[in-house]
Amino acid sequence: MTSTATNTNPPRRQTARIVGAVVLLGVLLAIGIVPRVIRGREARDVVQASTVLLPEVTVVHPELAPAKSSVSLPGNLLPLYSASIFARTSGYVEKRFVDIGSHVKAGQVLAIIATPEVDQQLNQARADVLQAAAAVEQSKAALEQAQANLDIARITRNRYTPLIKRHAVTQQALDEADAAFNARTADASAARANIDVTEASLKSKQANVERLSALKGFDRIVAPFEGVITSRNIEQGDLVNDGSNGGAKSLFSVAQSDVLRVQVEVPQSDALAIKAGQQATLTVQERPGRRYIATVTRSAESVDLAARTMLTEVQVDNHDGSLLPGMYGQVSFDVAASGPSLIIPSTALVIDKNGMHVVSVSADSRVHFIPVNIGQDQGAQVEISQGLHGGETLVSNPSDLLSDGQKVSLAQ
Residues 30-44 have pLDDT tens digits of 565 555 555 656 555
Per-residue pLDDT, 383 = 84
Give CA–CA dist 334/68, Å, rounded: 7
Stated pTM of the model: 0.59
Return the higher-pLDDT residue of 293 and 174: 293
For the ranges 217-221, 325-329, 339-343, which has the lowest average pLDDT?
339-343
Amino acid at 193: A
Query: Strand 56-57 relative to strand 409-410: parallel, antiparallel, unpaired?
Result: parallel
Per-residue pLDDT for 21 more than 80?
no
* CA–CA separation, 252 and 234 (whole Å): 8
What's the average model confidence in pLDDT over 329-358? 86
Q: In this model, does residue 68 exceed pLDDT 80?
A: no
Strand blocks (E) in 279-393: 279-283, 292-299, 309-317, 328-336, 342-345, 350-352, 355-361, 367-371, 373-377, 381-386
pLDDT at 46: 47
66, pLDDT greater than 60: yes
Worst-scoring range by mean pLDDT, 10-24, 268-282, 321-335, 348-362?
10-24
Q: Quick one: average pLDDT of 363-386?
A: 86
Contact (CB, 8 A) for 113 and 269: no
* The pLDDT of residue 272: 87
Provide the pLDDT for residue 385: 83
In the chain, pLDDT over 90 holds for what percent of residues?
A: 49
Q: Which of 183-192, 252-261, 309-318 is the least confident region?
A: 183-192
Confidence of residue 273 (pLDDT cuts 50, 70, 90): confident
pLDDT band at 248 (very low <50, low <70, confident <90, very high): confident
**Structural contact between residues 408 and 54, judged by C-beta atoms closer than 8 angstroms:** yes
Question: Looking at the predicted structure, is the pLDDT value of residue 16 above 90?
Answer: no
Give the chain's mean pLDDT: 85
Per-residue pLDDT, 114: 92
Say how far apart CA 180 and CA 293 lie, in whole Å: 91
Q: Closest by alpha carbon to 264, among 39, 71, 50?
A: 71
What tens digit of pLDDT does each residue of 41-64 get?
655 554 454 455 789 999 999 988
